[in-house]
Structure 1
């Protein structure tokens, strides 16, 4: 399949106009004073998600030019090509079909000789079959006891996606089976778990697209050794341990079989699924085990609803398009090089880490599709934290530091049931929501956000709040599997919009691959000596490392 050609917006008239607009003095407070209807005009909604972007440094001229810039970059065609499975991952010559993972049954998508929809739903049927066996207690360990704990071993997207979603939706869990997540190569996470879990009732999911990732396989090897110690003492065998205690998820069935994963317990991925876009696939098995397949399908349905909005809504009211264009405006034109994600909901504690990978691994690029070096800023540095924690950590820099930072505030309008038993929790939720809305005001308006403190701040300069930090507020009616799916898909498509304007490929990660290769090279060099440096003193190891460098 031939790779599509798109226009590069860098040479467009709108790009030049936006550069000129960015030079003017922007004051969010002044923009609000000039327009009483600003909040209504600079907002959009789809389904359970409402987006208020009125506290961005924008006016109608900026929005018009950003929308025209989107058209000049062939964004509409790029969206269509994404959905239809065109070869948009140009450096790896493949499609990027994470949207196909949440297509409903009955939808049809054929890419080359592959019936994508049929393959996806066959895989989901396997996820349902295996998760139901585990949840029902029918999956037994080598000693005949039912599984009580599941450990998902993965790294990057194979860890962050399922960890984020399973944590966010844990109140939807309807099973006593506990799901754990292990990713750290040094073994510390796994060690802490193995000390307190029962080998006879613990199941491992090995998630690795290539089934060659050293981080994941080193943890898997340790897990197997731990199981065998117990199994062999109780007349178990390696074959029974491998068959009853391991599930593999990968695009490489040969390597899964060679490792010892039973064919019936192998779940398929495809080369067109990027790790950071894979939680919708069999990688989401851990989520399905915890909340059930019906709720997992609701997660997929929520993401699909955002896909349809992205593909069909006019750009003027298209949430992913607007969110992506605002990010480009801030990073490329206003030169705001930092962005923070601030969810005011403890259930979304892992969302900032998930989005850090999604955005920075996708758009941390400096070469266009045609191989040219960019001469403009692309992805900002992204980080975040639960809002209440962040207020007592890095908000000091946001309010009074020297760095310009753009922010996303995320909150749920409704949470606890409105009854007497939950009255205290409801009060806490309202307090959190009030903090979310208040902080965005102070960041935007500075001293003027609260009139009675303005004079005090003017007198004591160390109390001065400069304001003018741009932010977007995303309100979710209620956190459910469906609304979470829509929220995550919103950010996936935001990333694609940004990449389209910058004309970069968001679906490869060659920088990550180089790091892996170098680590393997250093490891092999360290192992060449008969006296392994890992068995020597720290000084000897350091001397060996200096030799390598």
Structure 2
């Protein structure tokens, strides 16, 4: 069956799609059938609106779009980022040492592990107190200055793995252009013992450099020896050593990236320096190992049991064929509080496109709007809409099976709290799927308020159970979603590795800034001109 006919067949199946209540009633084995596991992650997708026929057609769709060949192209360094004419080799960042990968005559693996070795040396010196500030004191606080992928990934992983921190060094993150985060930190940090990491792939991002300039000024107010300040209090991470040197970063304090590392895929590289400082290099390597394990699974597992492929196929089915244009990620573990935000960038910046690889406007839905929160918090925030709102929303529930196993008896109540969290996670997916049918008979209402207590159900969800949350399983989980994004992009025929929609905002911001600090506010639409005039009138000296 060719692509067009297969696409039409799936559209027909979507129009005749049965409710989740009916699908479960018709198949007692459904919970076992629609599941898969790998890398200490168990995935239950039985509460997705698919049956045997739909599942077979989705697998066929993956084959028709030559997904196996596309996966091979990604992993082998072919130029899958065709609009920028380069590979997307984030998987090479977590490949074991002495695993050659030749790209344009260069062994990428050697470059990656040379960079990791340099990062390892920096981490060791910072954590052991060898790295000293201008006054001779050991570093007590590290501030990562970045934005987008240079912030969200390290922030998410450092938070998720806080229990693995084995140092008293505090790690902070600054991304906001308006200076709010930095202002709060500079009031409590000591210039003598604070180290800044400037993370910017281009080393030209105004958000990051404006914060870096403020940090430099703060340090210089405590010590007027600029050479000492730059040498002892700044590390730079970028693809542009020339720009880092021009800014003043000492050559020995520079860590390099490569153009083939997309920002939102870069936490495995030197961009993850803040993670390694917090949890140690050994645990950082465990994070890489977990991701590499998922890479291998993605490359070799049959599509019917391949977690990233299955998650990607389900995403396309929901968004493109069922018209479900909203997706929420709900981790039932406070350590994963920043994971939904991380995925928001990963998925929406990658697949938020309306033009295919051939440059043609697509006539189907691509990436849904994605958001999320810790599940227990979300239950008291936006679950009302999920249960009784007017639109369908697909959901991912994520939770570890085991936690607090090694805590002393005095902390036994923590295990009880984890059991409550697990129970809420499983309960919510049931009610979302089956509505009132999931409730016991004693809760069925027949009173004057019964019509207000109806839960329609039929909200599809996937549940991901981690054996436990460790550096290794977190690495696997992140890589799972990275590859899900790629699978969806293949079926949508879009390039997930460029981000022209981000660039245009930067261009316009520079034009507006020139008008804001200058005298001429013309050349914009009437709204922008009026707003600029209003602002300038209020801020005139």
Contact 1:345-1:411 within 8 A present in 2 as well: yes
Name 2:104's counterpart in structure 1: 112
Name 1:477's counterpart in structure 2: 467
Gaps in structure 2 of 5+ consecutive residues? 522-528
1:524 CA displacement: 1.2
Name 1:534's counterpart in structure 2: none
Cα distance in 1 between the residues matched to 2:114 and 2:128: 21
Deviations 1:128-186 (A, max 9, x none): 00011000000000010110000000000000000000000010000000000000000
Map 1:513-528 to 2 at 5 A: 513-528=503-518
Cα distance in 2 between the residues matched to 1:23 and 1:29: 17
Name 1:432's counterpart in structure 2: 421
Please state whether the residue corresponding to 1:196 is helix, strand or coil.
coil
Cα distance in 2 between the residues matched to 1:542 and 1:377: 36
1:456 to 425, 428, 445: 445
Name 2:272's counterpart in structure 1: 284
Name 1:397's counterpart in structure 2: 385
Name 2:308's counterpart in structure 1: 320
Cα distance in 2 between the residues matched to 1:204 and 1:461: 57
Name 1:218's counterpart in structure 2: 210
Cα distance in 1 between the residues matched to 2:441 and 2:256: 61
Question: Is 1:512 the equivalent of 2:502?
Answer: yes
Map 1:344-363 to 2 at 5 A: 344-363=332-351
Contact 2:78-2:87 within 8 A present in 1 as well: yes
2:240 to 244, 252, 265: 252
Residues 421-430 or 274-283, more deviating: 421-430
Name 2:477's counterpart in structure 1: 487
Contact 2:88-2:262 within 8 A present in 1 as well: yes
Contact 1:457-1:464 within 8 A present in 2 as well: no
1:425 CA displacement: 0.4
Question: 1:430/1:473 Cα in 2 relative to 1: closer, same or farther (>3 Å)?
Answer: same
1:543 CA displacement: 2.2
1:354 CA displacement: 0.0
Cα distance in 1 between the residues matched to 2:282 and 2:532: 53
1:189 CA displacement: 0.1
Question: Is 1:66 the equivalent of 2:58?
Answer: yes
Cα distance in 2 between the residues matched to 1:19 and 1:546: 54
Contact 1:526-1:544 within 8 A present in 2 as well: no
1:525 CA displacement: 1.8
Contact 1:251-1:271 within 8 A present in 2 as well: yes
Map 1:373-384 to 2 at 5 A: 373-384=361-372
Deviations 1:440-497 (A, max 9, x none): 0000010011122553068611000000000000000000000000000000000000
Contact 1:408-1:471 within 8 A present in 2 as well: yes
Question: 1:210/1:185 Cα in 2 relative to 1: closer, same or farther (>3 Å)?
Answer: same
1:542 CA displacement: 4.1
Please state whether the residue corresponding to 2:68 is helix, strand or coil.
helix
1:14 CA displacement: 1.7
Question: 1:400/1:446 Cα in 2 relative to 1: closer, same or farther (>3 Å)?
Answer: same
Question: Is 1:164 the equivalent of 2:156?
Answer: yes
Cα distance in 1 between the residues matched to 2:2 and 2:181: 46
Contact 2:94-2:288 within 8 A present in 1 as well: yes
Name 1:6's counterpart in structure 2: none
Question: 1:156/1:252 Cα in 2 relative to 1: closer, same or farther (>3 Å)?
Answer: same
Contact 2:287-2:471 within 8 A present in 1 as well: yes
1:74 CA displacement: 1.0
Map 1:85-164 to 2 at 5 A: 85-164=77-156
Cα distance in 2 between the residues matched to 1:140 and 1:260: 18
Question: Is 1:496 the equivalent of 2:519?
Answer: no
Give the aligned CA root-mean-square deviation in angstroms: 1.8
1:446 to 422, 427, 435: 435
Cα distance in 1 between the residues matched to 2:348 and 2:165: 31
Deviations 1:3-48 (A, max 9, x none): xxxxxx9943221110000001421011111111100000000021
Question: Is 1:270 the equivalent of 2:258?
Answer: yes
Name 2:47's counterpart in structure 1: 55
1:247 CA displacement: 0.1
Cα distance in 2 between the residues matched to 1:473 and 1:500: 24
Name 2:282's counterpart in structure 1: 294
TM-score for the superposition, normalised by structure 1: 0.94
Cα distance in 2 between the residues matched to 1:473 and 1:101: 28
TM-score for the superposition, normalised by structure 2: 0.96
1:541 CA displacement: 6.0
Contact 1:303-1:487 within 8 A present in 2 as well: yes
Name 2:526's counterpart in structure 1: none
Cα distance in 2 between the residues matched to 1:540 and 1:327: 43
Question: 1:541/1:317 Cα in 2 relative to 1: closer, same or farther (>3 Å)?
Answer: closer
Question: Is 1:468 the equivalent of 2:458?
Answer: yes
Contact 1:343-1:410 within 8 A present in 2 as well: yes
Cα distance in 1 between the residues matched to 2:447 and 2:67: 46
Contact 1:148-1:176 within 8 A present in 2 as well: yes
Cα distance in 1 between the residues matched to 2:532 and 2:352: 32
